[in-house]
Amino acid sequence: MSILVNKDTKVIVQGFTGSEGTFHAEQCIAYGTNIVGGVTPNKGGQEHLGKPVFNTVKDAVNATGATVSMVFVPPAFVADAVMEAADAGIELAVIITEGAPVRDMQAAKAYATKNGMKTIGPNCPGIITADECKIGIMPGNIFKKGNVGLISKSGTLTYEGANQVCNEGYGI
């Protein structure tokens, strides 16, 4: 059951060409997530993982129609990245970055809310609609399609809960 993301959701990756952004974007693409491009300042016009790279979120949204951003930028820049996504019309930012300054994120989340953008994170494992769309760092193989919703503050406990639910014959 999908609520926020599904197989048709167009996703960009902020911090696309960095090591973490690259690794997890590859995993998401392999899962079937519709990654339509990424953003890395000063690398616009290049291609990475077979997808276009843009200098700004606005450029990426205008070119691809993306509505969701998976954020993998360093902690010092994550608040600015979230506000840039909100300014560009992104509807949902999934902020994987850990170690983000608390006050910066309070301001960024308030800005996002004021501009109509939902946020998940920071320092989160992401969001998944089983067999459709994985945005984040979760191991997709433990999730099976079903009608149980699972929300958790802990990444590892999310995986354990999902594994137990699915092993009992239900799906997430």
How many domains are there within the chain? 1
Q: Does residue 3 lie in a domain region?
A: no
Q: Does residue 151 lie in a domain region?
A: no
Query: How high is the pLDDT of residue 103?
Result: 97
Instruction: Describe the strand order of the beta sheet including 47-48 as a list of residue ranges.
Output: 47-48, 51-54, 35-39, 11-14, 68-71, 92-95, 118-120
Q: Does residue 154 lie in a domain region?
A: no
- Would the pLDDT of 46 be above 70? yes
Q: Does residue 158 lie in a domain region?
A: no
Q: Does residue 149 lie in a domain region?
A: no
User: In this prediction, what percent of the chain has a pLDDT beyond 90?
Assistant: 90
Helix locations, 14-172, DSSP H:
19-31, 57-64, 78-87, 102-114, 155-167
Q: Does residue 28 lie in a domain region?
A: yes
- Give the domain CATH number at 105: 3.40.50.720
Q: What is the pLDDT of residues 74-132, one digit of tens each?
A: 999 999 999 999 999 999 999 999 999 999 999 999 999 999 999 999 999 999 999 99
Containing domain of residue 18, as a range?
Answer: 11-138
**Packing angle, helices 57-64 and 78-87, rounded to 10:** 40
